[in-house]
């Protein structure tokens, strides 16, 4: 039974910890248990935010949000403006739309100087405007772009 799947976008080493060992470490290593609980709470909050994002935002705003999250905008440290190499197909799966829609929005973001994109994506702070403000230049119907569906038409511009 598989509850979730994941795909690494950077080099990593997966580690399986047996339940009994995790319980033991949580009881004995208080620093670790504090860190682990903070992670779980942050993950829960992120999952809720992703759900709300999927329900109420256009695929363009979902793409902008995921690019900003990957670049770590909003963290206390300086953001990583160049995000790890990732395919448009993977981005499309992450936001629930098609690869062609991601391509359309990436080209739009590039034309508006929100990103630089030449295999690696460099995110500029100005991309926050897509998430925080309505509408973008050329958007006459942004209120019609709210969709939780991955069946968005490839010629429908939101």
More confident of the two residues 140 and 25: 25
pLDDT band at 144 (very low <50, low <70, confident <90, very high): very low
Residue 42's nearest CA partner among 24, 12, 13, 69 is 69
Task: Note the pLDDT tens digit of each residue in 106-121.
Answer: 999 999 999 998 778 9
Q: Say whether pLDDT at 51 is over 60.
A: yes
Q: Phi and psi for 149 in degrees, rounded to 5?
A: -90, 145
More confident of the two residues 106 and 46: 106
Q: In whole angstroms, what is the distance from residue 69 CA to residue 121 CA?
A: 13
Domain ranges of the chain: 20-56, 58-158
With 0-12 CB in 10 A as exposed, 13-18 as middle and 19+ as buried, what is 80? Answer: middle
Q: In whole angstroms, what is the distance from residue 120 CA to residue 103 CA?
A: 14
Can you give the pLDDT at residue 156?
A: 38
Mean pLDDT in residue range 95-102: 94
Can you give the pLDDT at residue 146?
A: 35
CATH class of this structure's domain 58-158? mainly alpha
pLDDT band at 152 (very low <50, low <70, confident <90, very high): very low
Rounded alpha-carbon distances, angstroms, from residue 131 to 2, 59, 69 = 33, 11, 11
Q: In whole angstroms, what is the distance from residue 111 CA to residue 134 CA?
A: 18
């Amino acid at each position: 039974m598989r509850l979730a799947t994941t795909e690494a976008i950077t080099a990593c080493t997966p580690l399986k910890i047996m339940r009994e060992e995790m319980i033991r470490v949580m009881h004995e290593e208080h620093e670790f248990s504090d860190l682990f609980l903070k992670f779980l709470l942050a993950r829960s909050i992120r999952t809720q935010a992703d759900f709300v994002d999927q329900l109420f935002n256009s695929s363009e705003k979902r793409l902008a949000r995921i690019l900003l999250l990957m670049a770590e905008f909003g963290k206390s440290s300086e953001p990583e403006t160049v995000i790890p190499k990732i395919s448009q197909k993977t981005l499309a799966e992450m936001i629930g739309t098609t690869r062609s829609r991601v391509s359309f929005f990436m080209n739009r973001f590039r034309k508006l100087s929100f990103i630089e994109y030449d295999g690696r994506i460099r995110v500029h702070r100005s991309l926050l405007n897509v998430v925080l403000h309505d509408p973008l230049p050329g958007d006459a119907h942004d209120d019609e772009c709210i969709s939780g569906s991955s069946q968005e038409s490839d010629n429908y511009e939101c």
